[in-house]
Each structure stands twice: as C-alpha cells, then as structure tokens.
C-alpha cells in the first residue's frame, strides 16, 4: 500500500500504471479465481489473456479499432496500440463498442454531461482512449474517461462505451447501374427541315465548347510553364527539384521500403552520382500530407546542422509530393534500442543522447526561425555510419516567430512522449521538446520502452522505476542486464544521465531545464541537483 501511495504522485503513473496498481489493490483473492468464462476482458493487464482486446471463451481474442495483434499466431497474447494512429487532434472520432466497462480504471469523471459532450471530452484529451457514458441514480448523465492500461473489463453494465479511432475515408457512394434497361421511348416525328436545323445547332454548340476548352487548356499550360518553376525555386531555394519519373527511376519503381509513418512511406534510392538517398513518398490527396510537405520544406530545407537529417531535394508535381533525404545506414534509434539482438554500446548511447540534444538546441535557439519539433521519439532519430544522431520527420513541427516565446496550437505528438501541457490546452513552449527528450533519454539508458508490460509491477512505467532506483541508491539495476556492452558503464555517467532525464520530465514546465542547460548537464560542465519526483 505504501508503494502505491508513493507512486501516485507521478503523472506518468497516472497515464500508465495507476489503473493497473489500483486494480491489484482492490481485487480480492476470490475475484482473481473467477473463471474467465464468466468475464468479458478488454485491457492491458500483464498476466491476463487478450491484452488490449476483447476476450470471449467461445470466440477467442479480437482487437479493437486502432489495435493490432501482438502475435498473429497466438491471438490470446492480446493486442497493442497501433503507433501510426495519431489520436491527438480534431480528426479523431469516438466509435461505439457496446456496453463493456472497467470499474476503477477511470482517471476523471465528468458530471452532469450528455453522451455527445462525453465523447467530445475524450476526443479533446490526448490521454483518453475510452469513454464510458451512464446515468447515475439521481438521473444525471456521467462520463468516465479511461487511459491505458485497462483491466478487468465486464459487459452488460447498462452503460455505453466508446473507443477513440481515426476514421477511414468513406467508400464511393455512386449508385450501382440499373440491371434493367429503360423502356424504349418513341421519338417524336419531325420534318426533314426541323431535323436539319437541330443538327446544325448541335454542331455549332460542340464546336464552340471545343474551342473554349482548348483556349482554357492553353492558358493553364502557359501559366504553369512560366510561373510554376519560379514559384518553386522561390519556395525551396538551394534544394534540387526532381520529377516524379526521376524519383521513380532513383528508387527502381519504389522497390525497397525502409519504413512507413502516418503520412507516407520511405524508400531507398540511389542518385545518378551513386549517392544513397531515402525518398519519402507522401500520401496523395490528403490535406495532412500536404501540410507535412510544406512544414518539412520550410523547416529542414532551411536548416543545416550535423544532428539534423539533410534534405537534398523534393518533387512537387501534380498530385505527387516527395522528399529526398540523405540515407542513414544504421536506421532508426528505436530499432537499435528495442529490436536488436545485442545492446547498443554504452558510449554510443551517450553520444546519441548528446547529439540529439545539440540538434534540438540548434532548432530552439540557433535557427533564424525557432522550430519546435513536437514529436521527439526514438523512431524519429536516425543513425549514420558512425552512429551520429540525426533528428528527422518534421511533419508535426511548429515554426515560431522570432518575437514569440510561446504559442497555442492543437495537440500533436505520440502517446508516451507528449508533455502534460498539451493535455491542458496550455501555452506551448520549447519545453515540450525537452519533456519528450527526457522520456527518450530514460529509454536510451535502459534500452527499453517507456511502458513495458512483461516486467514486475514496479517496473511497468519506466520513469517511476528509474526514480525509485535513484531514491534507493540502486541505479545499477537499470543496466545490470546489459553485460554484453563493448564499453564499461561508468556509474557517475549513469547517474548524470538519469538526473538529466528526470529533470526533463517534470510536470511543471518551469522546473524543466532549457535544452541549452540539458546539453551542459550531459557534458558535465554544470552541477546537477537531485530532482523532485516526476510530479510534485
């Protein structure tokens, strides 16, 4: 019980662990022995079957919208959140999933409220995954907002449940052709003279329309030939322009896929001079894809730093939007940390953390236009031949004027790395990137994701486990499984990295250091005090 009270102060615990720990405290031994045949489970419990899905004894496990199977060969291992789902923003909607509920899992209750307002409250809250609507004993409507992980779901609750999803584009609504031909109509009788006048009128109308169409097409072609190249050159001065056919040849027909994100797919290619490149092909006819294209051109195209991925050129032809980047031979940081058979060398990880911080320092304080990246995470840090960190994927970046120190904007980013102020609709500052960097720094230290379910209870939420190890003087527990590293892990360097990460994830932005101070801390040029718990 004391552990639960001590950990309850952490905001990330509220996000990931409170629901799970409270259920463990409240569930009796008899309830734990109940047969799963009598329950309907939706959740993320560590030891339960069908994590993040729907479990029924008769039909197995089914994933909710926005979730994928952990292992398709064994559905009972449950489901995991689809990382490509961006659920922060106005594009999200609430999907009706019937009448399940998770008693004790809600982190906020709103009363009185109607069903529409309940669903909208969840859409506007980045933390909210599921909303439950029901009528209280006094007749008032109430809304319970719930976040992952969920556990001990049950049905027949006389309440309505909704899960947050990103809607797919609707199918074509053209009516099917009629299977029966229309009945023949008897043409009206006309004289030969009337028929001749009618044919002449039709011929003149067709000739006029054809001439008008040809004239409009000629004007459009001339304007495109004279103005478009100038506008493009003005928009991307210093970058190379490619035609779609050129990039199709560079990638050999978009053959080798490197990765896929929320806005498009990345392919490997080779320029005529033999230089390897990564070609990002944005989705067609999508407003968000067009916005990402313009944002990346405006931010990366004008930025030059060794810790930012370099943009060589682009294609802006018709409906095609493509970006050509330098190729990173060692892939993304998340693969090196979480998907490699061996642990990334300690000194390389220290180098990657410092390089990423220096890249953010350039964006925040050294660019002519201040840039907030807004989506710092291991998937967006690329590694070259020498494991130099390169910040990439500026599709969610926010450009700020020189006179601005804060701004208001719609929520953006990835769950687990989003700063608390996004959820409060508060003013946004460069400290949102500092928060995301702090979460990622703890992942770099421990070589594991911020949320992990197949571990002891006190290690599920990484920041809380790290702080507990710091408090008890047992930091070596964080890296004791990394015995195969090429270089020895220095205990003082480990402590310094941990302190920096914990300062960066403070709930109050005023307590977080600037990214310049973060660089100084990592380099060991300034003293670092012991931070308060992640929430104070």
Beta strands in 190-261 (DSSP E): 240-241, 257-260
pLDDT band for 14, please (50, 70, 90 cuts).
very low
Quick one: pLDDT at residue 513? Answer: 97
Q: Go through 95-117 and write b for each residue having 16 or more CB atoms within 10 A of its CB, e for each that does not.
A: eebebbbbeebbeeebeebeeee
Which CATH architecture does the domain made up of 336-535 adopt?
A: Orthogonal Bundle (1.10)
Which run of H or of E encompasses 81? Answer: strand 79-81
The pLDDT confidence band at residue 124, using thresholds 50, 70 and 90, is confident
Q: What does R_g of the chain's alpha carbons equal in angstroms? A: 28
pLDDT of residue 440: 98
Instruction: Check if 375 is active-site.
Output: yes
**pLDDT tens, residue by residue, 459-485:** 999 999 999 999 999 999 999 888 766
> What is the pLDDT, as a whole number, of residue 224?
58
Separation CA 244–CA 183 (nearest Å): 49
Q: What's CA 387's distance to the chain center, in Å?
A: 24
- Domain 39-165, architecture per CATH: 3-Layer(bba) Sandwich (3.50)
Q: Is the pLDDT of residue 407 over 60?
A: no
Q: Which of 74-78, 202-206, 228-232, 283-287 has the lowest mean pLDDT?
A: 228-232
- Identify whether the C-beta of residue 502 lies closer than 8 Å to the C-beta of residue 467: yes
Q: What is the pLDDT of residue 497?
A: 97
What pLDDT does residue 386 have? 93
CA distance 103 to 19: 10
At residue 87 the predicted structure's pLDDT band, cuts being 50, 70 and 90, is: low
Could you tell me the two tokens for 493?
């360097």
Give the single-character DSSP code of 371. E
Per-residue pLDDT at 16: 39
Quote the mean pLDDT of the chain. Answer: 77
pLDDT score, position 522: 97
513 or 88: which leads in pLDDT: 513
3-state helix, strand, coil in the chain (%, to 5): 35, 20, 45
Confidence tier at 231 by pLDDT (50, 70, 90)? very low
What is the model's pLDDT at position 72?
74
Token digits for 28? 């009796």
Q: Cβ-count burial of 317 within 10 angstroms (0-12 exposed, 13-18 middle, 19+ buried)?
A: middle
Distance between CA 111 and CA 100 in Å, rounded? 20
281 labelled ligand-binding = yes
Residue 346 pLDDT level (bands cut at 50, 70, 90): very high
* Mean pLDDT score, 252-261: 88
Q: Is the pLDDT of residue 428 over 60?
A: yes
Q: Of the listed 316, 375, 393, 464, which one is catalytic? A: 375
Confidence label for 257 from pLDDT (cuts 50, 70 and 90): very high
In this prediction, residue 303 has a pLDDT band, given cuts at 50, 70 and 90, of low
pLDDT reading at 4 higher than 90: no
- Give the pLDDT confidence of 261-300 residue by residue, as tens digits: 766 789 999 998 899 999 998 875 455 555 566 666 665 6
Going 359 to 360 to 361 to 364, the CA torsion angle's sign is: positive
Q: Match 């999200």 to its residue by tokens.
A: 92
- pLDDT above 80 (res 242): yes
Q: What is the DSSP letter of 364?
A: I
Statement: residue 147 has pLDDT above 60: yes
Local confidence band at 318 (pLDDT 50, 70, 90 cut-offs): confident
Q: Is 103 left (phi over 0), alpha (psi -120 to 50) or beta?
A: beta
- Under the banding of pLDDT at 50, 70 and 90, the label for residue 165 is confident
| The most confident of 187-196, 335-344, 389-398, by mean pLDDT | 335-344
Quick one: which of 11, 4, 8 has its CA closest to 508? Answer: 11
Query: Is there a contact between 524 and 496 (Cβ–Cβ < 8 Å)?
Result: yes
Domain limits, the chain: 39-165, 238-327, 336-535
Least-confidence region, from 101-110, 182-191, 293-302, 328-337? 182-191
How sure is the predictor about 423, in pLDDT bands with cuts at 50, 70 and 90? confident
Q: How high is the pLDDT of residue 198? A: 75
The domain made up of 238-327 has a fold known as: Phosphorylase Kinase; domain 1 (3.30.200)
pLDDT higher than threshold 70 for residue 27:
no
Report CA torsion sign: 472, 475, 478, 484.
Answer: negative
DSSP 521-532: HHHT-S--PPPP
In this prediction, residue 36 carries a pLDDT of 36
Most confident of 95-99, 365-369, 490-494: 490-494
Residue 376: closest CA among 432, 335, 446: 432
What is the rounded average pLDDT of the residues 203-213?
A: 80
384 Rama sector, left if φ>0, alpha if ψ -120 to 50, beta otherwise? beta
Residue with tokens 């070596």: 476
Residue 75 is predicted with a pLDDT of: 73
Looking at per-residue pLDDT, the higher value among 379 and 194 belongs to 379
Domains 238-327 and 336-535 agree in fold? no
Look at residue 278 in the predicted model and tell me its pLDDT: 94
Q: Answer whether 533's CB lies under 8 Å from 9's CB.
A: yes
191-200, 465-474, 524-533: least confident range: 191-200
- What are 170's two structure tokens? 């609707």
Residues near 495 by Cβ (< 8 Å), separated by ≥ 6? 470, 475
pLDDT at 502: 97
C-alpha closest to that of 316 among 220, 226, 244, 223: 244
pLDDT at 47 (0 to 100): 38
- The residue with greater pLDDT, 176 or 320, is 320
**Over pLDDT 70: what percentage of the chain?**
67
Residue 256's pLDDT band (boundaries 50, 70, 90)? very high
Distance CA 337, CA 320 (A): 34
């Amino acid at each position: 019980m004391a552990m639960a009270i001590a950990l309850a102060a952490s905001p990330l615990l509220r996000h990931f662990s409170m629901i799970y720990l409270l259920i463990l405290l409240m569930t009796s031994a008899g309830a734990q022995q109940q047969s799963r045949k009598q329950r309907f489970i939706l959740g993320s419990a560590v030891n339960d079957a069908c994590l993040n899905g729907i479990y029924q004894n008769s039909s197995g496990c089914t994933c909710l919208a926005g979730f994928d199977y952990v292992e398709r060969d064994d559905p009972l291992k449950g489901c995991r959140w689809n990382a490509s789902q961006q659920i922060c923003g106005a594009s999200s909607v609430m999907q009706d999933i019937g009448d399940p509920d998770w008693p004790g899992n809600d982190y906020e209750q709103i009363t009185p409220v109607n069903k529409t307002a309940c669903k909208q409250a969840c859409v506007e809250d980045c933390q909210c995954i599921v909303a439950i609507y029901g009528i209280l004993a006094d007749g008032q409507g109430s809304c319970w907002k719930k976040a992952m992980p969920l556990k001990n779901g049950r049905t027949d609750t006389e309440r309505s449940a909704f899960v947050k999803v990103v809607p797919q584009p609707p199918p074509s609504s053209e009516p099917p052709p009629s299977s029966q031909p229309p009945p023949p109509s008897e043409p009206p009788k006309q004289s030969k003279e009337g028929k001749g006048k009618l044919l002449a009128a039709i011929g003149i109308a067709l000739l006029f329309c054809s001439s008008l169409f040809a004239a409009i097409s000629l004007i459009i072609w001339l304007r495109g030939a004279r103005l478009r190249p100038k506008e493009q050159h003005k928009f991307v001065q210093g970058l190379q322009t490619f035609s779609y056919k050129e990039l199709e040849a560079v990638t050999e027909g978009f053959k080798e896929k490197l990765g896929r994100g929320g806005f498009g797919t990345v392919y490997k290619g080779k320029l005529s001079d033999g230089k390897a490149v990564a070609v990002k092909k944005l989705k067609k006819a999508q407003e968000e894809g067009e916005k990402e294209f313009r944002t990346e051109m405006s931010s990366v195209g004008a930025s030059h730093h060794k810790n930012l991925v370099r943009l060589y050129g682009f294609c802006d032809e018709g409906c095609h939007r493509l970006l050509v980047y330098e190729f990173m031979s060692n892939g993304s940081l998340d693969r090196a940390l979480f998907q490699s058979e061996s642990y990334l060398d300690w000194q390389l990880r220290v180098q990657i953390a410092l390089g990423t911080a220096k890249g953010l320092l350039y964006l925040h304080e050294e660019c002519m236009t201040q840039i907030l990246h807004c989506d710092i995470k291991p998937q967006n840090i690329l590694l070259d031949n020498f494991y130099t960190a390169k910040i990439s994927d500026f599709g969610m970046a926010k450009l700020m004027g020189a006179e601005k120190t804060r701004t208001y904007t719609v929520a953006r980013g990835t769950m687990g790395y989003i700063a608390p102020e996004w959820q409060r609709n508060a003013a946004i500052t460069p400290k949102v990137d500092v928060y995301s960097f702090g979460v990622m720094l703890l992942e770099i230290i421990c070589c594991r994701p911020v949320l992990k379910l197949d571990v002891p209870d006190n290690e599920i939420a990484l920041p809380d486990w790290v702080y507990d190890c710091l408090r008890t003087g047992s930091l070596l527990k964080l890296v004791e499984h990394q015995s195969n590293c090429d270089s020895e892990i220095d205990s003082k360097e480990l402590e310094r990295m941990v302190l920096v990460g914990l300062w960066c994830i403070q709930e109050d932005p005023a307590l977080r250091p600037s990214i310049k101070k973060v660089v100084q801390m990592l380099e060991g040029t300034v003293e670092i005090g012991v931070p308060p718990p992640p929430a104070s």
